[in-house]
Structure 1
Amino acid sequence: MDGRQPLSEVIQSLHDRMTQFEGALLISATPTTVEAIAADYAAFKSFTLGVLKTLQRQVEILAGDADQLEMRSRRKILLFHGVPEVSKEDTASLVVKTVTANLKLPDFTGAQISRCHRMGRAGNGDRPRPILVKVRDVVMRDSVWFAKTNLKGSNVTLSEFLTRPRHLAFMSARERFGVKNCWTKDGHIHIVGPDGARHRICSLSELNELLPPEGHKPTAPAALQKIKPPEHLGEVVHGLPLALRQRVELVQHEVGDGLGDGGPLERRLAQRALDAR
């Protein structure tokens, strides 16, 4: 299934498949065996999980589009960390002083700032709150950003205002590849791999494709290989390992609630299984 397939088509496809399956049961002239029921259940489970994966993919696409739009709205914003905080301060003046003195940009003035304030609530912490600065001009914003190397040796640092998903991906990338091998530019996360190759990502899923978390080992395929052939209908689900069984039972419950008419079909399946024994 295509991840961009409309939701209405996915729902209609699920209903058509269920109708076809139920119709085949009603017109079948031969008694339904346990093996046939198990095969039908396996086919239905595979189809249902495929539908759920399609829905998950659609949610990821929508979330990615929303994240991209949000990041574009933050294009002119920078965060200043480590600027000393005082009572009744003028944050714009503090930023101008920091930029002209530390970043060596004498042309930067308060008129080029459209928004400037501390982030978070004022507290009694030892660390000053970061200052959010939105610059009117993209060119000046980039000049400030690329001059951040002049802050080396000071207590002030500069960062982009990433969205939460990108911030989490960036922090995870630094843990896996090292601080010196990860940086951001225009809202994108750039990574230098162990082989020296450079990569650009925007999300945690892309990072996991590049380098899975340490200790991550897929166990589902090996577990499925150890499943014994079911002796009765109940073992089709309850013979699975605990994690997989919970997942299948959850899918059954959600699909049954969505279709609404799954009860009669389940009772007919159970009755035919008893008759065949």
Structure 2
Amino acid sequence: MEDIKNSMSEMVKSFSLRMNQFETGLQKSAAPSSIAGLAADYADFKSFIMGLLRALQVQIEFMAKELDSLEMRGRRKILLLHGVAEQQKEDTTQEVVKTVVERLEQSGFVASDISRCHRMGRSAGTSDRPRPILFKLRDASVRSKIWSSKSSLKGSGITMSEFLTKARHDAFMAARQRFGISKCWTTDGTVYVLGADGARHRVRCVEDLDSVAPGVSQQVQVPKLAAGKETSRTRRAAASKMV
């Protein structure tokens, strides 16, 4: 962030200096030859400013990716459980334990393996669609075992997903829309897409999809994940419980 601040400061100084020079020359100009010279100076100045803006954009994009990676590392032990019916005065921790033990056949999994557990967002009241359960594991290896056995949930009406950052979630949903559900997946917070060349591509943002297949769009109808639409209130609530 300090580099960006310095770049902005230097750009403002350069912009002010060149504009002052341009205005001074404009006030003194009278002959057509002077006007032509000012036009050339203006073209050079425009090129200079555009170069600075492009450099600044590169720095901002780099910082955004670094912040995204940092945020994803903070979510590395978190998983989301979708489709578990809501009950009044429920114990979400026990609901997760029951699902993991009975459906994923992880008999050694106990409540103490979970450090945080709660439903995401506000209650929908009479809605038939249950809110996803966010649960954070104490040990990354336990998280990996649970995630690797998620295929056992197939056909149960319950699904599991990673707690992706907004940028990665948007990229994942766009990839499913463009390439199809079967060709997109996530592992350890990274979005992967299977390209037409049979190669596996890593995707961090929506813009990366064009490097996989420029302009390709299958318009696949993809069901929306419940956790995909995080409101600012939901993200703040989740973040406060992740610590």
Q: TM-score, normalised by structure 1?
A: 0.69
Separation in structure 2 between the aligned mates of residue 41 and residue 211 of structure 1, nearest angstrom: 39
User: How many residues end up aligned between the 2 structures?
Assistant: 214
Residue of structure 2 in register with 1:71 after alignment: 72
Instruction: Provide the alpha-carbon RMSD of the alignment.
Output: 2.7
- Deviation of the 1:95 alpha carbon: 0.4
Q: Using a 3 Å threshold, how does the CA distance of structure 1 residues 210 and 32 change in structure 2: closer, same or farther?
A: farther
Equivalent AA in structure 1 for residue 182 of structure 2: K
- Deviation of the 1:59 alpha carbon: 2.3
Residue of structure 2 in register with 1:95 after alignment: 96
Q: Which stretch has the larger CA shift, 30-39 or 129-138?
A: 30-39
Match of 1:173 among 175, 189, 194: 175
Residue of structure 1 in register with 2:188 after alignment: 186
Query: Would you say the 8 A contact 2:26–2:38 is kept in 1?
Result: no
Residue of structure 1 in register with 2:143 after alignment: 141
Deviations along 1:70-89, one digit per CA (max 9) or x if unpaired, are: 11110100000011111111
More relative contact order, 1 or 2 (CA 8 Å, 6+ apart): 1
- Deviation of the 1:197 alpha carbon: 1.2
Residue of structure 1 in register with 2:240 after alignment: none
In the alignment, structure 2 segments of 5+ residues that lack a partner are 218-243
Equivalent AA in structure 2 for residue 122 of structure 1: S
- Deviation of the 1:16 alpha carbon: 4.6
Residue of structure 2 in register with 1:155 after alignment: 157
1:128 matched to 2:156? The reply is no
Equivalent AA in structure 2 for residue 68 of structure 1: S
Deviations along 1:195-240, one digit per CA (max 9) or x if unpaired, are: 111111211222234344569xxxxxxxxxxxxxxxxxxxxxxxxx
Query: Would you say the 8 A contact 1:78–1:160 is kept in 2?
Result: yes
Residue of structure 2 in register with 1:8 after alignment: 9
Residue of structure 1 in register with 2:224 after alignment: none
1:209-220 equivalences under 5 Å are 209-212=211-214
Equivalent AA in structure 2 for residue 178 of structure 1: G
**Sequence identity percentage:** 52
Specify the SS of the correspondent of 1:96.
helix
Equivalent AA in structure 2 for residue 116 of structure 1: C
Query: Would you say the 8 A contact 1:4–1:58 is kept in 2?
Result: no
Specify the SS of the correspondent of 1:84.
coil
Separation in structure 2 between the aligned mates of residue 4 and residue 176 of structure 1, nearest angstrom: 37
Larger Rg: 1
Equivalent AA in structure 2 for residue 64 of structure 1: K
Separation in structure 2 between the aligned mates of residue 208 and residue 15 of structure 1, nearest angstrom: 38
